[in-house]
Amino acid sequence: MTEVAREFGKPMIVGVNRHHFGARGCEVFNSAALLTPDGSWCKPERLVASYYDKTHLVPFGEYMPFVEILPWLQSLSPLGSSSSSGGRPKGFVVKNICLAPNICYETVLPQVIRNQLGKLRQEGHAPQILVNVTNDGWFWGSSELEQHLACGVFRTVECRRPMVIAANTGISAAINASGEMIVPEGPKRETDLILADVRLDHRESWYLRHGDWFAGACLATTLLLACVGIGGVLNRNGVGRAGG
């Protein structure tokens, strides 16, 4: 893969399965790796990171829940083995621009992307561009592809960060920080090339600073009002029966 990067003379981000042999045996990670033409990906001192291990795994799709406690559950799954979760988010620095990689369905969950960006910023590497690599071949060109792309649009608006998406058989795209497509999106289940002029956005994101407290407050208020309403109905019914 490094030879391919050298041939094109450009850094590449690719999706890989990473195998780590350690005290816990062989662990398999769903990862995104940064490859550079000069091979500096294998010299971590030159980068913030050379690879990112997916931190939020899909249950039953990437791992069997509770398999650490009950190993026999793995035999009930078509998965040969369960993937391991990565420890923390990582940033790729290319020409002084910090890219925040995420994998597959991590873009579906707003709190996952927010937490990743927040942790990288605390470490002194504020991400400027979101990068999503995904294999959507499972869905055979269904409407899931549009739904997954729509999730990416929401994440760009919430974080005020542009995003580039490389989706195997899915919809590849480049989206600006206002949720608008920079170029026409890639086709379904076909091979194509997208060239996008990704512009950085320096706006601050309210959601990144404050998170979900407003949505949580709305939910709590709704539940409180529902309880008050139900209580009123029960009281009225109780009074009616007593009077009869």
Same domain, 119 and 178: yes
Could you tell me if 58 and 154 lie in one domain? yes
Tokens (6 digits) for 126: 């504020």
Confidence band (pLDDT; 50, 70, 90) for 127? very high
Q: Are residues 64 and 115 in the same domain?
A: yes
Which residue, among 154, 138, 67, 79, has the nearest Cα to 104 in the 3D structure?
Answer: 138
- Cβ atoms of 39 and 2 within 8 Å: the answer is yes
CATH number of the domain that 133 lies in?
3.60.110.10
Q: Could you give the CA distance from residue 147 to residue 72 in angstroms, rounded to a whole number?
A: 34
Whether the pLDDT of residue 124 is over 90: the answer is no
Burial class of residue 164, CB neighbours in 10 A (0-12, 13-18, 19+): buried
- Percentage, residues of the chain above pLDDT 70: 93
Asked whether the predicted pLDDT for residue 79 surpasses 60, the reply is yes
Higher-confidence residue of 235 and 84: namely: 84
Average model confidence (pLDDT) across the chain: 88
Domain match, 228 and 196 both: no
**Using 50, 70 and 90 to split pLDDT, how confident is the model at 117?**
very high
- What integer is the mean pLDDT of 56-76? 87
Q: Are 58 and 77 in contact (CB under 8 A)?
A: no
Q: Are residues 138 and 60 in the same domain?
A: yes
Q: Are residues 216 and 202 in the same domain?
A: no
Range of the domain at 224: 212-244
User: What's the structural domain count of the chain?
Assistant: 2
Are residues 32 and 100 located together in one domain of the fold? yes
Alpha helices in 98-205 (DSSP H): 110-122, 144-159
Q: Check: CB of residue 177 under 8 Å from CB of residue 160.
A: yes
**Mean per-residue pLDDT, 68-86:** 85
pTM: 0.85
Do 241 and 202 lie in one domain? The reply is no
Same domain, 192 and 160: yes
Does 235 lie in the same domain as 202? no
Contacting residues for 145 by C-beta, under 8 A, at least 6 apart: 136, 139, 167, 170, 171, 188
Q: Are residues 147 and 237 in the same domain?
A: no
Residues 185-211 pLDDT 10s: 898 988 888 999 999 999 999 999 999
Residues 109 and 217 in one domain: no
Task: Determine contact, residues 205/160, Cβ cutoff 8 Å.
Answer: yes
